A and B are shown apart, each in its own frame.
Chain A
């Protein structure tokens, strides 16, 4: 069951006490109550714009609430870089809203066609934006659920006649009410006319007609490949009226992304760590191996640094809150190599297996401390 656990029934709460009241009467679960706490606190935080008067009161049960909508918009706004995309999203939101009002006023409304093409390198935020758009469309009442179903060629294309249509329809069914996000969509045209990929495209196009009101399809992939793909399938261009380009991130943006990732997990990068990270990201290996401007690389680096920090803290036997939060330049040492970029400190053993290994080391380290051997453990085989 992928039951959305955000409550549909109650209006936006005004206070924490109100949420706790809902918990007591069984209107929300404890998990939902925490989520609503966050809503209440966000609405009250000094940084948040004051909600429009009566915003909470206007949200009918199950209807989009102004507060939720603002949350999603803030979230999109909080994405780093992507200024052009944010503008476009704002335009989209306004467009949908105005068409709705026109309809309500008895004027002819433009059909709202929201299928899109996302062009850009991996790690430039395409999936993140798609996910936020899903929630936005849900809050705006455009999509019923707003969830994201990510697929690629192998999920759509089958091995024999008829198989492809079946597979593609199945994915579409999963995506109904939300967004079907086709990654590396150009690969559907890879095999030419006789390839089953063509069939998948046809089924997709038909589904877009049949479920016009309740499905958004996003085709994503590298810029040049997507251009080529649309040239191969001229019919597609008009069906996907919205095109978004995802530029590579600049090093400064990547560093901000890293800080953001760290902060979200209650970590802080020291100034030296920030400088060190920028230095690493400017290295030719970083640009060459992972595609320059890659947020995924940054995430790997941050996660790796968090694990290194844990090992360091256990070794140094530090427990203070500030220590627990602080990521230093030393924690970034060897980060490129460990994040799957060769060239610095030899060839890495692949990021995934490394993460399991580090976790084991971490747990072992905890155990070692636990057994009262912390002093010995520190000088005894724990990684330096």
Chain B
């Protein structure tokens, strides 16, 4: 039986977890999805790999500046926000948690690996998984690695445990349509939602997915 608990800074169990390769757009999705739900100031609950926790409060624009970057492995811990999901007269509260980027190979930096370990621990206890992939990269001519072995493994692992969807991200970019097709072909039996963390397309469907499954 898998042991519960979050030994070594796994962070709080449960909730909706965002995972994916480095630079797929996980953090931008977290922030802009919160923004889309009407959050003005982001209350981030960060758990570092060593188990320590910190809270930060940033206006969403500031959060984008600080937490999103086009260099890979910007995120080095679990960063979560509490969100209210309204629908009709009802409302569901849930926790949306961003993780460090995964890689096909072994990463040279210890703190990156620690964040990856944390992401894998969190994945074991997630109640719903949103797996972000960079559809623009997958659709580009030089697409090697954009859909990685690690993506296939995440899909196989997570989809057997909890509701699971692939977010084919960066749909605002030109090659993304081709990438989306590739992703849909690679994961024929998974739910694939085309989104753009940048301009917000697809968020409606993500909301519906979370509402239906959480």
A interface vs B, CB < 8 Å? 5, 16-17, 20-21, 23-31, 33-35, 37-38, 44, 265-267, 303, 306-307, 319-321, 324, 359-360, 362-363, 366-367, 369-370, 372
Contacts and interface: CB of A to CB of B under 8 A. Distances in A.
Contacts of A324: 191
Contact of B189 (A265, A319, A369): A265
Interface of B: 1-3, 7-8, 102-108, 110, 113-114, 116-117, 119-121, 124, 148-150, 153-154, 156-157, 159-160, 163, 177, 180-181, 184-185, 188-189, 191-194, 201-202, 204-205, 208-209, 212-213
Given A265-B188, A324-B191, A30 B103 contact: yes
Across the A-B interface, the 3 shortest Cβ-Cβ residue pairs: A34-B153, A265-B189, A31-B150
Nearest to A319: B212
A10 B211 CA distance: 42
Contacts of A20: 8, 117, 120-121
A333 to B, nearest CB: 19
Nearest to B202: A370
A30 B157 contact: no
Contacts of B177: 363
Contacts of A372: 204
Mostly, the B contact residues are helix
12 contacts: A21-B117, A24-B110, A24-B117, A26-B107, A26-B108, A28-B106, A31-B148, A34-B120, A34-B153, A266-B189, A319-B209, A319-B213
A31 to B, nearest CB: 4
Given A23-B117, A29-B104, A321-B163, 10 more contacts: A24-B114, A31-B105, A31-B150, A34-B156, A34-B157, A38-B156, A360-B181, A363-B180, A370-B194, A372-B204
Nearest to B153: A34
Contacts of B149: 5, 31
Nearest to B211: A319
B85 to A, nearest CB: 14
A30 B189 contact: no
A23 B49 CA distance: 13
B208 A319 contact: yes
B165 to A, nearest CB: 10
Contacts of A35: 153
A31 B124 contact: no
Contacts of A17: 3, 7
A33 B194 contact: no
